[in-house]
Amino acid sequence: MRAARGRVADLTPAELSARLNNGGLVLSVPPFTVRVRSPIPIVREGIERLYALHEHAGDEDVFCDFHVSVLPSLGWTSLRCELDVDGQRPFTPLARGEAFAFFEWGLNWCVTSHCHHWLTVHAAVLERDGRAVLLPAPPGSGKSTLCAWLMHQGWRLMSDELALIDPASGQLSASPRPVSLKNQSIPLMRERMPDAVIGPLAHDTLKGVVAHLRVNEASLRQAALPAMPRWIVFPRFEKGAPLSAVPRPKPQTLVELASNSFNHHVHGPRGFERMADIVDGCDAFDLRYSELDDAAAWFDSLARAA
């Protein structure tokens, strides 16, 4: 039987809570289907706000790629929560205030640990006119803030965290999910994007204060469309620095891209060769910036010149 589908926004708060508390909410997180369960209010709040535009299915027999539960730790006095993924509990419990962020981090772990039919790289991916830019960057580089702003400026968000590369064709698959913002990026995006939907704050995490920003409807609507990589940009925010875009040598780019890959070793020589082909076909840059508008203008100039 085909599942009855609708948007999460179509569910009343009581209906959403009932599903999360009982059999689970079957949530479409392209290209995956995830059954999520949690009695913790902040998880319901996060899904209600940040996945409102995503589809859900009501059929108990729907195949799900992952079953993810965020559950209170045992004990009446416990203020912690645990992540259960298909019966495994691979992580140390966290404070309940981090429960929604725990769900997001858990989904990342599901993909990087199990989805080896793609080459997966720790990088944001945005697209314009069928051409994609990969943004590999270490924590603290401003990647997610830049990613959110470029989405707001008309680039399609394919992913904030994971580049999913078809090892046969080199195409990138989209997985548009909430963008992870940290610390000062949160009030900055509230100021610059007053209509943006931002989820619950998780305080005192290992990354500081964390919140997520809802992906826009245009990016979600085009989630089934792949794109070919055209640029690889390593961004870094430096307060007060003028914009600087320096071409990066291809050997250095390949080494860095491989170091950001979660599983190219699983694919053996074929995986490494595919990444080498991607680097050969892309222009690569080290980008330093302090102003989001300057960075966005530079990315637009890339798209116009291609």
Residue-level pLDDT at 141: 86
Q: What is the CA radius of gyration of the chain?
A: 19
Residue-level pLDDT at 66: 96
Q: Residues 228-283: pLDDT tens digits?
A: 999 999 999 999 999 999 999 999 999 999 999 999 889 999 999 999 999 999 99
Q: Residues 274-294: pLDDT tens digits?
A: 999 999 999 999 999 999 999
Q: Residues 61-89: pLDDT tens digits?
A: 789 999 999 999 987 567 899 999 998 99
Residues in the chain: 306
**In the structure, what pLDDT confidence band is assigned to residue 118 with cuts at 50, 70 and 90?**
very high
* Lowest mean per-residue pLDDT among 1-10, 39-48, 113-122, 174-183: 1-10
Is it the case that residue 30 has pLDDT exceeding 80?
yes
3-state secondary structure of 289: strand
Is it the case that residue 223 has pLDDT exceeding 80?
yes
Would you say the C-alpha torsion 44, 48, 53, 56 has a positive or negative sign?
A: positive
Is it the case that residue 48 has pLDDT exceeding 70?
yes
Is it the case that residue 59 has pLDDT exceeding 80?
no
Tell me which H or E stretch contains 302.
helix 292-305
Is it the case that residue 1 has pLDDT exceeding 60?
no
Q: Residues 156-192: pLDDT tens digits?
A: 999 999 999 999 999 999 999 999 999 999 999 999 9
Nearest to 183 by CA among 214, 210, 205: 210
Give exposure, 267-299, as e/b (b: 16+ Cβ within 10 Å). beeebbebbbebbeebbbbbbbbeebeebbebb
Is it the case that residue 2 has pLDDT exceeding 70?
no
Q: Residues 86-111: pLDDT tens digits?
A: 989 999 999 999 999 999 999 999 99
Percent of the chain residues topping a pLDDT of 90:
89
